[in-house]
Chains A and B, each alone.
Chain A
Amino acid sequence: MFRRVLLVLAALCALTSPALAKDELVIAMNQAPGTMNPLISSMLAKSLVSNMTARPLTAYDVAWKNICMVCTDLPTIENGKARVVDLGDGKKGMALDIELKPLVWGDGVPVTAKDYAFTIEVGKNPVSGVASAEAYKRIVKFEIKDDLHFTMTVDRVTFDYNAIDLQIVPEHIEKPIFDANPAEYHNKTAYDTDPTNKGLYFGPFRITELVPGNRITLEANPTWIGEKPHFKRIVFKIIESTAALEANLLSSNVDYVVGELGMSLDQALAFEKRHKDKYVVIYKPALIYEHIDVKLDNPLLADRRVRQALLMAIDRKAMSEKLFEGKQPVADSGVSPLDPMYDPSGRKFAYDPGAAKKLLDEAGFSEIKNGVRQNAKGERFSIEITTTAGNRVREQVAQVIQSQLRQVGIELRIKAEPPRLFSDALNHRAFSGLAMYAWVSAPQSVPHSTLYSTEIPTEKNGWSGQNYPGYASPEMDKAMDSAERELDESKRRGYFADMQRIHAEDLPVLPLFFRVDPFVLPKQLKGVVPTGTLNSSTLWVEQWRWEE
């Protein structure tokens, strides 16, 4: 009996892992995508997969330059494919001429302008379930010239007119489903009911198996007209525990953990020290802006000198060096130093506790009682910082800030909440002092939704908008409006510099860091280039290869 048991165990162990065949890549990520329909909901996990199976019209490349993915030429004023047009009533818009590459859906049906027209129709329909409809609503006119050419007119003149990250759905498959009942489209889309349908994909890979919440298998798409991918098969495994992610990598159960949704920075730093003989770690600063929102309605925080003092009392450089080995760059505002619109001459707040104390004195918090400052009314400078529970890095940062603020006489209470409670508190502006979290943006992004005065969530507007500090500055509104509308790059740079200057003066948000995505790559895996933007590295999957 014992021998039999041993034989069975030996047989179990002898079975080779499927990860070993190298025309196949097994990759892991720590989040499961929901629906695979590219129009409904915005999730990083989904875009990591869908960037392998389809392409947006345009995207930012690794140098953060806007390039065509599905179109042949980027429409610009200079090449005459983009024009400022009169929309009537004194309004101006832009007409963009687009020529499509001759791409083909996996079932052999060509990708045409009709797919774009249908996608926009879905996006505009209020009951289709599309999460963000603004981009579709801005398209006021869509003219099909032939299968590969169309002109679309947008209702405003903005500098980023040709950054069109529009993903499409196949008209020949999705239109009958949508027409049957637009309100049920988000539940009945073929991306969920028939996700292995070849006709849903036109990228280098197509989905051949989808086990929700567990595994997604992709195989090379024979109808893809671009560069042939090196791998025949890619398997995505969903492993939510970061400790288990590392174990799976080390045991060769997976080949690679995607940098965008994989190990945390502290984990990658420790991993690199132990396993640098087999793995290369690339630390790519991303457009993920770690910051602290300041509740401006709080009387203790209403004075800008107080906010400046707070920032000067926090040693962000030392934190970056001690906690992140200098890999996470310090932020001066929401504009990354890697962004072409970054103004290097803008005001920076270096660690200066002496200056911070002076500013606090000037703001009326000069008396110190039991180590805590108080004003003439006897109000103690005691505030709360709320952040997401379970995020080890943020919890560490909060503790360091608490200790540094104590040195200048400010009492900071840390409140870590589960993400759903935290996001609810933010949406209802229910945090009392400070809130630490991150924003994700694109290159040359104008922070309209987070700093514009009309974006303050209130009961009256149904708690919508993301200006959680409650910041209202006519000067900042004007700078944002001007930056958004200015087509001339050098003039626009001036408006962006204005935005950074006003932000540094008012500090409605205390900038901390630009988060780094650590890409832990096995030495044999070549061609993976981190982008640092929302256009993930998987958009260039055909360049990935395995070299022993």
Chain B
Amino acid sequence: MGRTLSTRLIETVLTLVLMSIAVYLLIGLMPGDPINMMIAGDPKMTSEDATRLRALYEVDKPILQRYLAWAGQALQGNLGYSRSFSLPVMTVIWPRLLNTFELTGLSLLLSVAIALPLGIWAAARPRSTADYLINLFSFAGISTPPFWLALLAIWLFAVTLGWLPAGGTADLRPGTGFGTALLQKLRFAALPVLTLTVLQIGSFTRFMRGAMIETMRQDYIRTARAKGLSERGVILGHAFGNALVPVLTLLGLSFGGLFSGALITETMFAWPGMGKAIYQAILDNDYNLALVGLLIATFTTILGNLLADLAQAWVDPRVALQ
């Protein structure tokens, strides 16, 4: 177990190094540099200004040299400055990371809490009306465009009913009590969380249903039933644990999304999260911010996979960690 974990750790570090090179080179190879964009927005800039700023921001140096300079600083704990925010990269990223975790974590929890019982319910009654309705709901969730669902939610709950804010985050002033602050935060999170939850429920439900149907066909389920166990006991005591293995893989893959954000939902609800930050950083040629954001997303995806492997081994002893 220890050896497996240390091997995975080395693999993770290597992947991150390779990813940092790939991302830095790819962003650097895209046409345009930050100074071009400054010129486009400021007709007063002269040719001398452009040359001076290219030297100051070191965009006149070869891309590999810039990457090595960044990597050298990063090893000393300095991840650089975000050019578009004029702040250290981690100062920009931390609050966004927390915002994204709040949004995607809540929606993942809700999706799993709703999807697993729905999947089990549908699997226990295949081809029943309930099964068809659950399948219909799942496919609707999978195939609905996020921006459309977000607009629908805004129109219904914010514009028409006026129950919830259309976007943004809670504006908490000094002296706001914990309870009020929590309620305000939940109020602002409600619509984006609802949107993401509806979008995610479908795939989790389908996975759970499929895995459960497959498991319910196994010999040991027949044996459990033959022993006189109740259907509830068979499903929860024998089938659920075994059916959970493929669902855990999906959950592991979703773990990366907890920190890399949900671009469309964040944009529609003006939610300052990682997805929007990374996307805008790439568009604005903000190398450092884009690079660190993508590395965090890579790291959490790898970590999610590792956690999924560990969880699979824990749930199903037949899965050995090699």
B interface secondary structure, majority? helix
CB distance from A304 to the nearest CB of B (A): 25
B249-291 Cβ-contact flags toward A at 8 Å (1 or 0): 0000000000000000001111010001100100111000000
Question: Does the CB pair A215–B169 fall under 8 Å?
Answer: yes
Bound together, the chains give a CA A133 to CA B53 distance in angstroms of: 10
Please state if B44 and A37 are interface contacts (CB–CB under 8 Å). no
Q: In the complex, are the beta carbons of B268 and A34 less than 8 A apart?
A: no
B44 touches A238 (CB 8 A): no
Report the nearest B residue to A466, measured CB to CB: B43
Q: How many contacts A-B (CB < 8 Å)? A: 190
Q: Which segment, of B62-70, B79-87, B121-129, B137-145, faces chain A?
A: B79-87
Interface size on B, residues (CB 8 A): 64
Q: Could you tell me if A466 and B158 are in contact, using CB atoms closer than 8 angstroms? A: no
Interface contact B168-A253, CB-CB below 8 Å? yes
* Interface assignment of A43: CB less than 8 Å from any CB of chain B: yes
Tell me the chain B residues, 87-103 only, with Cβ under 8 Å from chain A. Answer: 87, 92, 95-96
B192 to chain A, nearest CB (A): 11
Q: Supply 13 further A-B pairs (C-beta < 8 A) apart from A133-B46, A251-B166, A465-B47.
A: A131-B45, A211-B169, A213-B280, A215-B169, A235-B171, A237-B167, A239-B270, A241-B270, A248-B167, A419-B283, A423-B32, A425-B31, A426-B40
Assembled-state Cα–Cα distance A127/B58 (Å): 12
Partner among B154, B190, B284 whose Cβ is within 8 Å of the Cβ of A12: B190
Q: Which residues of chain B have C-beta atoms less than 8 A from A12's C-beta? A: 163-164, 183, 186-187, 190
B230 within 8 A of A: no
Closest to A42 in B: B42
Interface CB pairs A-B, < 8 A, 29: A12-B163, A13-B164, A13-B187, A15-B180, A15-B183, A15-B184, A34-B86, A42-B44, A127-B56, A132-B44, A186-B86, A211-B272, A213-B276, A238-B270, A244-B154, A244-B270, A247-B158, A247-B166, A248-B168, A419-B283, A420-B32, A420-B36, A420-B285, A423-B36, A424-B32, A424-B36, A427-B40, A462-B50, A464-B51
C-alpha gap A253/B44 in the complex (Å): 37
Evaluate contact between B53 and A131: CB separation under 8 angstroms. Answer: yes
CA of A247 to CA of B156, assembled, Å:
10
B222 within 8 A of A: no
Is B9 positioned at the interface, with any CB of A under 8 Å from its CB? no
CB distance from A102 to the nearest CB of B (A): 30
Q: Provide the bound-state CA to CA distance between A155 and B291, in Å.
A: 44
Tell me, rounded to whole Å, the shortest Cβ–Cβ distance linking B58 to chain A.
11
> A461 to chain B: closest CB distance in Å?
5
Task: Tell me which residues across on chain A come within 8 A of B180, comparing CB atoms.
Answer: 15
* Interface residues contributed by chain A, number (CB under 8 Å): 67
Write out the residue numbers on chain B whose beta carbons fall within 8 Å of the beta carbon of A418: 283
A211 to B272, CA, bound (A): 9
Q: Which residues on B sit within 8 Å (CB–CB) of A238?
A: 270, 272
Known A12-B190, A237-B270, A424-B32; judge A441-B43 contact (CB<8 A).
Answer: yes
Q: A229-255 interface mask toward B, CB cutoff 8 Å, 1 = contact, 0 = none?
A: 000000101111101100110111100
Would you list the 5 A-B pairs with minimal beta carbon distance, nearest first?
Answer: A464-B47, A424-B32, A35-B86, A251-B158, A423-B40
Any A CB within 8 A of the CB of B319: no
- Known pairs A40-B86, A243-B151; A133 contacts B269 (CB<8 A): no
A18 within 8 A of partner (CB): yes
Given the complex of chains A and B, what is the CA–CA distance between A34 and B163 in angstroms?
A: 33
CB-based contact B171/A217 at 8 Å: yes
Is B246 at the interface (CB under 8 A from chain A)?
no
Q: Which B residues touch A440, using CB under 8 A?
A: 43
What is the distance, in angstroms, from A532's C-beta to the closest C-beta of chain B?
17
Task: Tell yes or no: B162 within 8 A of A by CB.
Answer: yes
Judging by beta carbons under 8 Å apart, are B167 and A247 in contact? yes
Give the chain B neighbours of A449 by CB distance below 8 A. Answer: 43-44, 46
The docked-state distance in angstroms from the alpha carbon of A129 to that of B81 is 14
Tell whether, in the assembled complex, residue A241 and residue B268 are in contact, meaning their CB atoms are under 8 Å apart.
yes
Q: State how many angstroms separate the Cβ of B188 from the closest Cβ of chain A.
A: 10
Q: Which of A124-138 contact B (CB under 8 A)?
A: 126-127, 129, 131-135
Q: Flag if A252 contacts B162 (CB, 8 Å).
A: yes
Contacts of A13 in B (CB 8 A): 163-164, 187
Q: Is the CB–CB distance between A239 and B187 below 8 Å? A: no
A183 within 8 A of B: yes
Asked if B49 CB lies within 8 Å of chain A CBs, one says: yes
Q: How many Å lie between the Cα of A243 and that of B153 in the bound state?
A: 13
Q: Is B37 an interface residue (CB 8 A)?
A: yes
Interface string of A434-458 (1 = CB under 8 A from B): 0000011100000001100001000
Proximity bits, A38-49, B CB within 8 Å = 1, else 0: 001111000000
A13 to B154, CA, bound (A): 14
Cα separation A369 to B165 with both chains bound (whole Å)? 59
Q: Give chain A nearest CB distance to B49 CB in angstroms.
A: 6
**Beta-carbon contacts under 8 Å, A4-47 to B:** 11-13, 15, 17-18, 34-35, 37, 40-43
Q: Check if A131 sits within 8 Å of B42, measured CB to CB.
A: yes
Q: Which chain B positions have C-beta within 8 A of A127? A: 56
Does A132 contact B168, Cβ atoms closer than 8 Å?
no
Contact of A192 with B86 in the complex, beta carbons under 8 Å = yes
Instruction: Tell me, rounded to whole Å, the shortest Cβ–Cβ distance linking A258 to chain B.
Output: 15
Convert B158-185 into 0s and 1s, putting 1 for each residue whose CB lies closer than 8 angstroms to a CB of A.
1100111111110100000000100110
Query: Which of B33, B37, B49, B167 contacts A239, CB < 8 Å?
Result: B167
CB pair B52–A133 under 8 Å, yes or no, is yes
B48 within 8 A of A: yes
When the two chains form the complex, which single residue of A133, A217, A420 contacts B37, counting CB atoms closer than 8 Å? Answer: A420
Closest residue of chain A to B284, judged by CB?
A420
Judged by a CB distance under 8 angstroms, whether B41 is at the interface is yes
Asked if A41 contacts B159 (CB within 8 A), the reply is: no
Interface residue? B1 (CB, 8 A): no
Residue numbers in A under 8 Å from B83 (CB-CB): 34
B40: which A residues are within 8 A, CB to CB? 419, 423, 426-427
Whether a CB of chain A sits under 8 angstroms from the CB of B30 is: yes
Q: Which of B32, B33, B190 gathers most chain A CB within 10 Å? A: B32
Question: Of A131, A186, A211, A217, which is in contact with the most chain B CB atoms at under 10 Å from its CB?
Answer: A131
Cα(A302)–Cα(B87), bound, Å: 47
Q: Verify if B132 is at the interface (C-beta below 8 Å from A).
A: no
B47 A244 Cβ-Cβ under 8 A = no
Query: B113 within 8 Å of A by Cβ?
Result: no
- Against B, the Cβ 8 Å flags (1 = close, 0 = not) of A109-136 are 0000000000000000011010111110
Distance, CA A126 to CA B95, complexed state (A): 33
CB-CB under 8 A from B268, the residues of chain A are 241, 243-244
A396 within 8 A of B: no
Given the complex, which residues of A lie within 8 Å of B184, measured CB to CB? 15
For B154, the chain A residues whose CB sits under 8 A away are 244, 247, 251
Contacts of A425 in B (CB 8 A): 31
CB distance from B276 to the nearest CB of A (A): 8
Judge if A76 is at the interface, Cβ distance under 8 Å.
no
Q: How far is the CA of A431 from the CA of B36 in the complex (A)?
A: 15
Chain A CB within 8 A of B320 CB? no
B38 within 8 Å of A by Cβ?
Answer: yes
Alpha-carbon separation in the docked complex, A449 to B43 (Å): 7
* CB neighbours of A461 from chain B (8 A): 47
Closest residue of chain A to B85 (Cβ to Cβ) is: A212
Closest A residue to B285 by CB, please name it: A420
Query: A residues within 8 A CB of B30?
Result: 420-421
Chain A residue contacts of B169, Cβ below 8 A: 211, 214-215
Instruction: List B residues 235-251 near A (Cβ within 8 Å).
Output: none
A187 CB-CB contact with B under 8 Å: yes
**Residues of chain A lying within 8 A (CB to CB) of residue B32:** 420-421, 423-424, 427
Q: Is the CB of A427 within 8 A of B36?
A: yes
Min CB distance, B86 to chain A, in Å? Answer: 4
